[in-house]
């Protein structure tokens, strides 16, 4: 069955990939975008219709959502820093609420909300986190805190007749727009070019890396099969920072040297970057919450998504090989 599908965040890393994936299957996409001219360059498809607006303006959402059957809400403020800390709640909670209100008004039942695996908190004792591992996780970043609060907003609308499902990708990598949301592919590119040579601490902290096509497939499966009000971790492979870059070296044949930077030094540098940002307004490269976050282990269990949705995970070396091939193509 073909649908008219409303997507927010369609000009982002995941959103652009999702829009083209669904349009390629014959669905008609209504994409809410801030700048139609810029969006046309990355969303140029006969089945993708562009609507100028933003998630903080309900009237533009209503116009773009007209005639739609499903909603994929991906738009978010996902930066490492913002000069106005309240912007995270305003965008990530307020924007979601606006989208859900219009869904209620228009009688659209099926809504997928994209959160993050970070809201579950970090793993301890070498055990991966699952959807219900931490009832009160210690979250480091304003982004994660706002996303967790937004999940509560989403659940409130179950009683209003919406079938809201929540998906939580981990560290996504792979071909696509090299935006801040595609940070690990950008790191790969910088590493190959000799522009990234930092190893946080001893490089042994573990993260969960998921190939972008797995996430997009997970979105589609969740819309079809997920239970209302449920959270699904869309993760990949657990590896250390050292293992991640060792694999890149082995697959690419390039061996840029990484220098270990003590976490205490990185933390001090992050405070200096933050102070400079407050003084100049210039976006910092790193902030203290992110240093603390990446010094911990983030093992992720995606068994629920596998069992209930049929979610599948691409092996790390397969995903990295595809990404490296794309990064090394003449068009990049």
Domain ranges of the chain: 4-173+210-236
CB 222 within 8 Å of CB 112: yes
Mean pLDDT in residue range 121-130: 94
Residue 286 pLDDT > 90? no
CB crowding 257-288: b at 16 or more within 10 Å, else e:
ebeeeebeebeebbeebbeebeeeeeebebbb
pLDDT, residue 85, reads 92
- Beta-carbon contacts of 279 under 8 Å, excluding residues fewer than 6 positions away, are none
Q: Which CATH architecture has domain 4-173+210-236?
A: 3-Layer(aba) Sandwich (3.40)
58: pLDDT confidence band, cut at 50, 70 and 90? very high
Q: Residue 242: exposed, middle, or buried by beta-carbon count in 10 A (0-12, 13-18, 19+)?
A: middle
pTM, rounded to two decimals? 0.96
Residue 279 pLDDT > 80? yes
180: pLDDT confidence band, cut at 50, 70 and 90? confident
Residue 63 pLDDT > 90? yes
Residue 321 pLDDT > 90? yes
Closest CA to 110 of 157, 178, 168, 78: 157
Residue 332 pLDDT > 70? no
pLDDT tens for residues 194-214? Answer: 999 999 889 999 999 999 999
- Beta-carbon contacts of 329 under 8 Å, excluding residues fewer than 6 positions away, are none
Q: How far is CA 30 from the centre of its chain?
A: 20
- 239, two tokens: 């590896």
| pLDDT: which is higher, 120 or 181 | 120
């Amino acid at each position: 069955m073909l649908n008219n599908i409303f997507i927010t965040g369609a000009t982002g890393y995941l959103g652009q990939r999702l829009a083209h994936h669904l349009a390629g299957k014959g669905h008609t996409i209504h994409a809410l975008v801030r700048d139609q001219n810029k969006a046309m360059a990355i969303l140029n498809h006969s089945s993708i219709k562009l609507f100028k607006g933003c998630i903080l303006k309900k009237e533009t959402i209503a116009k773009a959502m007209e005639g739609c059957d499903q909603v994929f809400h991906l738009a978010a403020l996902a930066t490492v820093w913002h000069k106005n800390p309240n912007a995270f709640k305003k965008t990530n909670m307020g924007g979601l609420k606006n989208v859900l209100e219009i869904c209620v008004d228009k009688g659209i039942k099926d809504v997928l909300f994209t959160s993050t695996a970070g809201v579950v908190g970090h793993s301890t004792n070498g055990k991966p986190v699952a959807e219900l591992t931490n009832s009160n996780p210690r979250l480091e970043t304003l982004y994660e805190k706002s996303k967790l609060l937004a999940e509560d907003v989403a659940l409130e609308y179950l009683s209003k007749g919406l079938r809201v499902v929540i998906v939580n990708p981990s560290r996504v990598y792979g071909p696509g727009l090299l935006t801040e949301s595609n940070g690990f592919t950008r790191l790969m590119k910088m590493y190959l070019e000799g522009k990234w040579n930092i190893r946080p601490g001893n490089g042994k902290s573990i993260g969960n890396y998921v190939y972008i096509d797995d996430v997009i497939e997970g979105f589609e499966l969740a819309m079809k099969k997920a239970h209302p009000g449920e959270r699904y971790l869309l993760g990949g492979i657990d590896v250390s920072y050292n293992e991640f870059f060792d694999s890149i070296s082995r697959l690419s044949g390039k061996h840029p040297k990484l220098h270990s930077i003590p976490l205490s030094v990185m933390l001090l540098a992050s405070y200096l970057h933050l102070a400079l940002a407050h003084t100049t307004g210039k976006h910092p490269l790193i902030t203290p919450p992110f240093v603390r976050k990446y010094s911990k282990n983030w093992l992720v269990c995606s068994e629920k998504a596998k069992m209930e949705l049929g979610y599948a995970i691409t092996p790390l070396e397969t995903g990295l090989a595809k990404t490296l091939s794309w990064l090394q193509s003449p068009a990049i």
